[in-house]
Structure 1
Amino acid sequence: MIAVIDYDTGNTKSVGKALAHIGLEHVITADHAVIRSCDGLILPGVGAFARAMANIEERGLAVLVKELVSEGKPLLGICVGMQLLFDSSSEYGETSGLGLIPGAVVRLPPSNLKVPHIGWNQLHVKPATVFAPLDGENVYYVHSYYAKTDERYVVAKTDYGVQVPGIVQKQHVYGTQFHPEKSGDVGFKVLQYFKEVVVKCSSSQQSI
């Protein structure tokens, strides 16, 4: 069972529909007990980093998510949910994030490209990762800010004037700047890969 964490963000239902499409059992919830009982977590998100982080903290979800990650539960952050995985964001002033992956979220730099970055763009995926089959595929982005982090945590990039981390990972914590739930079959594959991670981690914990 996957917990799609509900903190009044805009894309929880669309994420839930995508999970249902691939046959992944899930629940959309902010209930701490229910979240604890699940095998993996998805942190969706649209809108501003500061408001999203405030909503999470008001519900006591920040502490809970960090606790469950420390216990080994896989987590996938989507769009703003991915940005929340980092140490901080400069959007509407400096705001602390969950600190699960080192790095900071900053605004896309001025260029001849439109900000926000809205639309389909190509992924360039590192080889020898679970996401390697997605190299060269196009996914759907909606964002004005991006993560600046060490290369070791970047699984895939997209070129948009700068190299935007499209997929990040630190151990069992994953994030996608793009929206898998809006990226068609490619997005479904991303969610399927996360499902496989959850199953693997759950099986490992049960065998201990």
Structure 2
Amino acid sequence: MIAILDYGSGNLRSAQRAFETSGKEVVLTSDYEVALKADGLVVPGVGAFAACMQGLAGVRGDQLVRERISLKRPTLGICVGMQILFARGVEHGNHEGVGVWDATVEKLEAPILPHMGWNTVSAPGGSSLFKGVENESFYFVHSYAVKKKVGAIATMAHHGEDFLAAVEDGVIAATQFHPEKSGDAGLHLIKNWTDSL
């Protein structure tokens, strides 16, 4: 069973429909125990870093993510749900994140923000998340990102400058783009993740 964490952020219904295409049971939940015991946990996120982090803390989601990592249970962050997994973000001031990776989510230096629309990613060899969609385009909506490689496998993209489009690091993975809005390539990536559970 896949749990999509409901903490007041994210287009949960479209995410639920996308993950259901994998053939797995999918539930929307803010229940700590249900989310902890799920085969896979999805942490969505839309909006500003601080608001998402506040909502996450409201359902003890920060603690939940850390506990799932310690129990070796897979977790996938999406968009701002990826950003809040980092140590800090600077959108509207300095804010602490969950701290899975020691990096800062910073404003992109680009002629047009937000970075909105389709962009190609450059997935390195050995990526299980991007297997079969290594050089496809995915749908992004963001103005902030991490600008360095972190984790075991880092996938980069470019908008004004290089930024981290996805990370795979043991049981935790994350995408800056929205796989649920990325057509067939996004559904393929979701299936890659759910098949790994």
| Range into which the TM-score falls when normalised by the shorter chain | over 0.9
Structure 1 residue 39: Cα displacement: 1.1
Question: 2:50 matched to which residue of 1?
Answer: 50
Give the structure 1 partner of residue 125 of structure 2: 127
Give the length in aligned residue pairs.
Answer: 196
One-letter amino acid of the structure 2 residue matched with residue 25 of structure 1 = E
Tell me which amino acid in the other structure corresponds to 2:119. Answer: N
Q: Is the 8 A contact 1:118 1:140 kept in 2?
A: yes
Map of 1:181 onto structure 2:
180
Matched-pair contact (CA < 8 Å) for 1:4–1:42: yes
Contact 2:147 2:162 in 1 (8 A): no
> Could you report, residue by residue, the CA deviation over 1:54-109 in whole angstroms, capped at 9, with x for unpaired residues?
01112222112211221101110000001011111001111111111221100011
Does 2:89 match 1:89?
Answer: yes
Relative to total residues, which structure has the larger helix share, 1 or 2?
A: 1
Letter in 2 for 1:142: V
Match of residue 7 from structure 2: 7
- The TM-score, its normalising length taken from structure 2, stands at 0.94
Correspondence for 1:204:
none
Paired amino acid for 1:125: A
In 1, the alpha carbon distance for the partners of 2:150 and 2:7 equals 30
Please name the residue that 1:205 is paired with.
none
Structure with bigger gyration radius: 1
RMSD (Å), alpha carbons: 1.4
| TM-score computed with the length of structure 1 as normaliser | 0.89
C-alpha separation in 2, matches of 1:151 and 1:10: 24
CA distance in 2, matches of 1:149, 1:70: 25
Q: Is the 8 A contact 1:180 1:190 kept in 2?
A: yes
Query: Who is 1:21 aligned against?
Result: 21
In structure 2, the residue matched to 1:30 is: 30
Question: Percent identity, aligned pairs only?
Answer: 37
Distance 1:174 1:195 in 2: 12
Instruction: Give the unaligned 5+ runs of structure 1.
Output: 199-208
Q: Hey, which bits of structure 1, 4+ residues long, moved more than 4 A?
A: 151-154
> What is the distance in 1 between the residues matched to 2:34 and 2:150?
35
